[in-house]
Amino acid sequence: MFGRPQTVICLTSVTLAAILAACSSSPTATTTTASMSQGQADTAAAALTTEADNLSDGATSTGGTNIAAAFAIVPASPMARTMSNPPLLCSPTRSPNPPTNSDADAVPDSVKWDFTGCLINHPFATESLGGAIIFEDPTPTVTDHAVTRIFDNFFIQTRRIIRGDTIMDEWNGPQSWTRDSNHTQFTENAFTLVHTFPNGNTASHVRTWSSTFIADTAGSIQDDAPLPSGTRNITGTSQWTWRNTTWDFSVTTNPPLHRQDACTTVPLFDSGTMTVVATRPSETTTITITFTGCGTYTVSRS
């Protein structure tokens, strides 16, 4: 819902903070309300839009190179596009070092990057990183671009200087990619993101999604580089929990979302529609998110 794995995810907590600041940190949903209010639908749309945008982050990462370069630890956010990239203030620990690479492709057999003690300083926030990300080659004897990325209690805790408060996002679970220079195929199973609000309340999203990305320009997808412009299809299911209220989500995109790399405002989609069917035991709400330009979209509810 809430975050970003081109910080290793700018998973970007700073961008995320802006989205959540527009939403209440004291949700109005109760366990007796089955359908989503317009406010809840708007918040869900903001969360899902951010997560759809984040599927591009690290999509070409191999795990075998310098981790900051592989993830572009800050680049897809507008902040990174308008000023010099804040440095990662640490050297993540790689183990084993060097890792084994049986097939001599770009992806090692298995390598763990530990971010304990890492910092990123932004003009109005400081991000503390921790936990680990593990890269595995699911085809260690075949030279290809397949990679599985496993988040192991990886978190970004953001201290917002002007507000004087703290929020945190934590990721757990596996994500897998296969790709060539023209397209990528992405899958994840029970991938979990937990957001902690300034008041200590939490919200979570557990996703089982699949997605296909096709580059606008053939041959433009490269190892350890941001994805180019292209179209993204997403299908999948998830559970979204806000305090004591849980919805089951079914997500589709038609027409597919178009990622525009020239955008300077997230989300980096300039067209396409995401449809989310949100159900609880007795009610169903359909949320339609229509992207109308870089960083802009409309939300309708039925």
pLDDT one-digit tens code per residue, 113-145: 999 999 888 889 999 999 999 999 999 999 999
* pLDDT score for 71: 57
Residue found by looking up tokens 């030279």 in the block: 143
Tell me how long the chain is.
302
User: What pTM did the predictor assign?
Assistant: 0.83
Task: For tokens 């580089």, name the residue.
Answer: 225
**Distance in angstroms (rounded) separating the CA atoms of residues 95 and 186:** 25
What contacts 48, CB < 8 A, 6 or more positions away? 1, 249, 251, 274, 276, 289
153 vs 169: CA distance, rounded Å: 10
pLDDT of residue 243: 75
Q: Is the pLDDT of residue 5 over 80?
A: no
C-alpha 7, offset from chain centre: 10
Higher pLDDT, 236 or 67: 236
> CA-to-CA distance for 233 and 211, rounded, in angstroms?
5
| Percent share of the chain, pLDDT over 90 | 58
Q: Is the pLDDT of residue 244 over 90?
A: no
pLDDT at residue 82 tops 60: no
pLDDT at 69: 53
Distance of CA 153 to the CA centre of its chain: 15
Poorest-pLDDT segment among 85-89, 257-261, 269-273, 280-284 = 85-89
Those residues whose C-beta lies under 8 Å from the C-beta of residue 181, and which sit 6 or more positions away, are 215, 218, 219, 220, 221, 222
Question: Alpha carbon of 90 to those of 68, 117, 169: distances in Å?
Answer: 10, 7, 20
Does an H or E element contain 110, and which? strand 110-114
Q: What is the mean pLDDT of the chain?
A: 83
pLDDT reported for residue 85: 54
183-188 and 230-242 strand pairing: unpaired
* CB of 154 closer than 8 Å to CB of 131: yes
**Average pLDDT for residues 5-16, to the nearest whole number?**
40
Inter-residue contact 251 to 40 (CB < 8 Å) = no
What pLDDT score was predicted for residue 108? 92
Element (H, E) at 170: strand 165-179
From the centroid of its chain, how far is CA 120? 18
From first CA to last CA, the distance across the chain in angstroms is 21
Q: At what angle do helices 13-21 and 38-54 cross, to 10 degrees?
A: 170
Q: Each residue of 45-64: pLDDT tens digit?
A: 998 999 999 898 888 888 87
Distance CA 5, CA 9 (A): 3
Residues 6+ apart with CB under 8 A from 91: none
The answer to whether residues 213 and 184 touch, using CB atoms and an 8 Å cutoff, is: yes
DSSP 36: P
